[in-house]
Structure 1
Amino acid sequence: MSAKRPCIGVVALGRPTFDVPFAEEILAKAWGSLESLNADLIGKPELLFDADAVLGALPALKAQKLDMLLLLQVTFTDATMTVELGKEIDAPLVMWSFPEARTGGRLRLNSFCGVNLASHALSRNDLSIDYIHADADSPKAIEDIALLARAGAIVNELHGAKLKLVGEHPDGFDACNFNEQELQRRFGIDVDRIGISDFINQVKALPDDVADAPYERRKAQFPNLGELDQEATRKTLKVYSKLRTEADEKGYKGIAVRCWPDFFVEYGCAACGALALLNEDHTPAGCEADMMGVVTSLTLQQASGGSVFNTDLVDVNIEDDSIVFWHCGQAPIDMADTDQTIQGTIHSNRKMPLLSEFALKPGRITMARFSQGHGKLRLLLAGAEMIKAPLAFSGTAGTARPDIPVKDFLDRMINEGLEHHTALTYGEHRPIMRAIAKRLGIEVVELT
């Protein structure tokens, strides 16, 4: 699931009592800047001076599924047209106002005051905006508009997504519980369910040769694959084949699986290796039936454009300000430190394959979780640096330093009731995640 090219509705508002030639010059420059965006622009580079003109622009705007409605407040106007647009167009509203020189003479645009007037009027109608106040040729303005448009596109793509849930979360794992009605209401996501035993029986019924292609894929990456229990290894790869086929045929954008104890005791293999392959395919997969972990991973994947690892924080060292992220063996292989060993392995407790084993590569990371701590849905965010370090524990693990002292980081995450699973991706992606949360009406909590 990759975010589509955003679709931005653009309306330019003005009033003829201000300096219209200057306003048209500003609009032309702003429109030229907008054309540099990797986005589809719906609208025309012309000033709309009255309600009739705005009403005339509505059909073209309403004919598209907009990811953002951008109002260019080129001159001051009253709020009538803006409120009408806010009510009529189902899209996040962003307003762009333009500074002007303090000459001691005429106020030629009075642009920002128009935004101020409109934001108040919109608030009285339960509508909110993002705003940008910058020159018409400002690269930073275009960067901000691009980010907000991408956030809108991601939220629109989440709406209507289908996820797969295999089994139920283990007893006592409240962190993996979720409210299906809230998931549908807030994200527009639907969940298809299957019992864990029913799913395992479906895998058992598959011909053994469905494991052949993923076996060859892993053989090229894990030099020790032939040394592992071959029957159990191929069972893991049959699980992957089943999940991959279902995702492709039924359009599942992510999958949460109850991994233990069922796969070990009912089928004789680890599910971890199957989930790792799905994560590498950019179909986020999580263990312990953690549906909100998969939702977070899917969103973070869209925001980053890269792979995501749903992981535990398992060790801390307050003295050297380091922490260890780990999970049995499901990190995507493009996160591996290629200077160290990359191989297949067995589950550390159950002693069955197939799992991935490698240390995570150094680099900037973003940590995120749509959390249900304290009985409300929030987005918890943190930034950290993954450092070059030996593999801390068997499976896939990385050593990181948060942006604040570890003791402060731990205090915050424990006090906020953060789940034991968090999603990690490489790069700094908190700004886009904050924008997505705002679009979803979800509070953001900063852990660093």
Structure 2
Amino acid sequence: MARTYRLFVLGRPTFDVEYARACSAAAIAALRESGIGLVGDGEILFDNASLAAEIEAQGEARADGVVVIQSTFTDAEAICMIAEHFDTPLHIWALPEPRTGGRLRLNAFCGLNLAAHALGLRSKPIVPLYLAADGAGIAYAVEDWLKTQPQPAPAMRPAEPALSREGERGLEALRGMRIGRIGEHPAGFDTCAYDTARLSALADVSVEQIALSHLFDQARAVDDGDVLQTREGLRDVAGLAEVDQAQLDRSLRLRNALDQLKRQGRFDAFAIRCWPETFTEYGGAVCGPVSMMGEKRTPCACEADVYGALSSYLLQTIADAPAFLADIVDMDATTDTTVLWHCGQAPASMASEAEPVSATIHSNRRMPLLFQFALKAGRVTLARISQAGGHQFMVIAGGEMQEAPPSFSGTSGVLKLDRRTAEVRDDLLAAGLEHHIALVYGDHRAALEHVAHELGLPVLDLTQ
């Protein structure tokens, strides 16, 4: 007798809805072709109210499991609602998209990443799949996936007691570090949560809460001459005159306001609630200002990610160079490459000479200022002090950034990791890692080992 699965398709209307519908329809067809039965109509559920109604509509229907199609990026609230209702491992299928150089239309892998982290914190097992629905033999791949059991989290090891002057410099920077947290992290972003006492105990790091409205008020009050001076510093950025000038002015004011807050609070880094209010209430993007602050060695983490700010500051200090806090948006086993991306906020010194820095707008919110460029080729180190699974540990990885055109609009780079992409992807999801990881150029793994050892943090090395 054929097995039957409850079906939920998750998405958000700020992404390419028609494309998401086409991709999820192909996935549903592949599920049916594999010979299983489905409970649910397969319509994309764009909010939690729609999901709650679908859960109720499915009622007590007999089912052997649950399949979730991650059609676009979503926060983790919806997946947690599903996990609370059904006591079975969730099979979550995230849909890839081509690297077109244009808008990131789905960003589904990032949604899968958030889901894995949130459910890992709740000890809810998942079986992930990241595969295009229109490939040859897809029905057989789906059949195998549905038979797969959740993968255990990868083993961590004690940090090696390697002496490192770079590492000691990083430790010294962390001790007494001050982070300004501007606003709260968005709902469903467990990846950005933190505990004040735990952070203080780790390295005497302090966090000061700042209202998002205070940042906006500071920005509106910036002197026009200071804004003009900030714009003068962007003379080499192409296309500034082509974006909405009023929105550009508001965006640049955020850069000046962050500088003022840094001086006033003696902050080393910021964790900023960057959306939706910067667009919906203030009217300008903070992404470009984040890039500029990072270039000046004040890392700013999106989505009020305090540990992201901490990790970026640590890497920046170790490398004596700007750090980039990125999303992992594609891990393609076929090309054995990974795409690191964020809306448009990588430090400009990371730009490839073949792809000079240009001004652009946010792909979903349609406001400036963001930067557009591909990351330059070279050796890179990735790291994060993680809280996945409720435990603190150091994540380390290394690889070679490739010379490649932009994968998506904003700032992005194509990375060949030191280990097979599919293996790293499996470990990343099984560990339930956060969706932000910090990047710097150069090989700084020994310094990170030193820091981890001194802080008593075990190490998850993704590329060994």
Which TM-score band (shorter chain)? 0.5 to 0.7
Identify the residue that residue 289 of structure 2 maps to in structure 1.
274
Which blocks of at least 5 consecutive residues in structure 1 are unaligned? 1-127, 132-143
Shift of 1:187: 1.3
1:69-124 Cα distance to aligned partner (Å, 9 max, x none)? xxxxxxxxxxxxxxxxxxxxxxxxxxxxxxxxxxxxxxxxxxxxxxxxxxxxxxxx
| Aligned equivalent of 2:227, options 191, 204, 211 | 211
Residue 255 of structure 2, aligned match among 234, 240, 262: 240
| Identity value in percent | 37
Note the C-alpha offset of 1:159: 1.1
Alignment map for 1:115-134 (pairs within 5 Å): none
Counterpart of 1:323 in 2: which secondary structure? strand
Counterpart check, 1:167 vs 2:183: yes
Show the counterpart of 2:315: 300
How far has the Cα of 1:415 moved from its partner?
A: 1.2
Structure 2 counterpart of 1:206, one-letter code: V
1:228 CA displacement:
1.1
User: Please, which of 361, 364, 384 is the counterpart of residue 349 of structure 1?
Assistant: 364
What is the aligned partner in structure 2 of residue 97 from structure 1?
none
| Counterpart among 364, 378, 383 of residue 368 in structure 1 | 383
Which deviates more, 241-250 or 409-418? 241-250
Alpha-carbon displacement from aligned partner over 1:378-416 (angstroms, at most 9, x marks no partner): 111111111011110000000011111111010111111
Q: Provide the residue aligned with 2:94 in structure 1.
A: none
Q: How far 1:151 moved relative to its partner?
A: 2.4
d(CA) in 1 for partners of 2:187 and 2:429?
21
Q: Which has the higher contact order (CA 8 A, sep 6+)?
A: 2
Question: Does structure 1 residue 157 correspond to structure 2 residue 173?
Answer: yes
Distance in 1 (CA, whole Å) between partners of 2:186 and 2:248 is: 24
Equivalent residue for 2:129?
A: none
Consecutive unaligned residues in structure 2, runs of 5 or more:
1-157
Counterpart CA distance in 2 for 1:399 and 1:233 is 29
Please list the CA deviations of residues 182-230 of structure 1 after superposition, one character each: whole Å capped at 9, or x if unmatched: 1111111111111212321232233333211111111x22121111111
Amino acid at match of 2:196: E
Q: Is the counterpart of residue 228 in structure 1 residue 227 in structure 2? A: no
Give SS of 2:366's match. Answer: coil
How far off its partner does 1:129 sit? 12
Cα distance between partner residues in 1 of 2:275 and 2:393: 28
Greater shift in the superposed pair: 327-336 or 158-167:
158-167
Q: Is the 8 A contact 1:322 1:406 kept in 2?
A: yes
- Residue aligned with 1:244, SS: helix
Contact residue 215 and residue 258 of structure 2 kept, 8 A: no
Q: Which has the larger radius of gyration?
A: 1
C-alpha separation in 2, matches of 1:129 and 1:173: 28
Partner of 1:184: 200
Q: Cα distance 1:432–1:177, how it changes in 2: closer, same or farther (>3 A)?
A: same
Amino acid of the structure 2 residue aligned with 1:444: V
- The residue identity in structure 2 corresponding to 1:400 is L
The 1:391–1:331 alpha-carbon spacing in structure 2 relative to 1, beyond 3 Å, is: same
CA distance in 1, matches of 2:286, 2:170: 29
Opposite residue 180 of structure 2, the aligned amino acid is K
Which residue does the alignment assign to 1:135? none
Equivalent position of 2:72 in the other structure? none
Distance 1:221 1:371 in 2: 37
Q: How many matched pairs? A: 306
TM-score normalised to the size of structure 2? 0.64
Partner of 1:394: 409
Instruction: Give the aligned residue type for 1:155.
Output: L
Distance 2:190 2:358 in 1: 33
Instruction: Tell me, in whole angstroms, the C-alpha distance in 2 between the residues paired with 1:157 and 1:422.
Output: 19
1: CA distance, partners of 2:245 / 2:302: 23
Amino acid at match of 1:154: G
User: In angstroms, what is the RMSD of aligned CA positions?
Assistant: 1.7
Pair 360,130 (structure 1): closer, same or farther in 2 beyond 3 Å: closer
1:280-291 mapped onto 2 (5 Å cutoff): 280-291=295-306
Give the conservation status (yes or no) of the 8 Å contact 1:211–1:235: no
Q: Is the 8 A contact 1:366 1:382 kept in 2?
A: yes
Amino acid in structure 2 at the alignment position of 1:395: G
Residue equivalent to 1:90: none
**More off after superposition, 196-205 vs 336-345:** 196-205
Whole-angstrom CA distance in 2 between matches of 1:154 and 1:419: 22
8 A contact 1:164–1:193 mirrored in 2: yes
Q: Report deviation, 1:250.
A: 2.8
* 2:277 is equivalent to residue 262 of structure 1: yes
- Tell whether 2:428 aligns with 1:413: yes
Q: Cα offset for 1:161? A: 1.7
Aligned to 1:111: none
**Counterpart amino acid of residue 189 in structure 1:** V
State the shift of 1:130 in Å: 8.3
Detail structure 1 runs of 4+ shifted over 6 Å in the superposition: 128-131
Contact 2:350 2:376 in 1 (8 A): yes
- Aligned counterparts of 2:159 and 2:364: Cα–Cα separation in 1: 51
1:103-142 residue pairs with structure 2 within 5 A?
A: none
> What are the superposed Cα offsets for residues 302-345 of structure 1, whole Å, 9 maximum, x if unpaired?
11111110000001221110110000000000100011242010
